[in-house]
A and B are shown apart, each in its own frame.
Chain A
Amino acid sequence: EVHLVESGGGLVQPGGSLRLSCTASGFTFSSFEMNWVRQAPGKGLEWVSYISGSGTTIYYADAVKGRFTISRDNAKNSLFLQMNSLRAEDTALYYCAREDRYPHDSSGQKYDYWGQGTLVTVSS
């Protein structure tokens, strides 16, 4: 059974840093692309970052580009999000999500498994 478990969230002051982790089990981690998606309190979902299975292709949302760094350790079945220069608007529940391709069209992506999220609060 697929499991994704996030950790590392907490309360941090503006300008501070946090490193989120997502530990995967139940599937061949290196074979799947992964994403971070966040949800501010009472708000909708917002895509944050993507990393390919090998870690060689990475994308970021404009809102976090230059401040956040996504990475993965396939030997440890782990995904990471290093978050620097945090702002109040980064306050959210952060989910890791596994990406799979449409079976009929490899250009399409779907997030088929999600963790339960880890809460990041940026406040003084």
Chain B
Amino acid sequence: DIQMTQSPSSLSASVGDRVTITCRASQSISSYLNWYQQKPGKAPKLLIYGASNLQGGVPSRFTGSGSGTDFTLTISGLQPEDCATYSCQQVYTTPGFGGGTKVEIK
């Protein structure tokens, strides 16, 4: 199985900051990588698919990049409503998720 490792596991940043979350795969997954946002008590929401493609309706401050084994999710200009846990998912083989990164506002 492909292991997905996210870092950091949590972070605290100020409104307006640029936030970067990293996801590393244990082997190459090409660009078969999705990012989800999950707010407390809510279902996950798809943000990014195919490593860098913005899902419809998602604000443009969210961007994804990377291929192979290393991927990043960047929030450019953190907003209060971005407080959530962000998870990556590889769909190259049997689907698997990273452990999640909790983003809080300082």
A interface, CB within 8 angstroms of B: 35, 37, 44-47, 50, 59, 61, 95, 97, 102, 104-105, 107-112, 114-117
Contact = CB atoms under 8 A, between A and B. Distances in A.
A47 B97 CA distance: 8
A44 B50 contact: no
B44 A114 contact: yes
Contact of B100 (A37, A44, A59): A44
B43 A116 contact: yes
A45 B44 contact: yes
A115 B87 contact: no
Interface of B: 31-32, 34, 36, 38, 42-46, 49-50, 53, 55, 87, 89, 91, 94-100
Contact of A104 (B32, B46, B50): B50
Given A50-B95, A95-B43, A116-B43, 18 more contacts: A35-B95, A44-B87, A45-B44, A46-B97, A104-B50, A108-B32, A108-B49, A108-B50, A108-B91, A109-B91, A110-B55, A110-B91, A111-B36, A111-B89, A114-B43, A114-B44, A116-B42, A117-B43
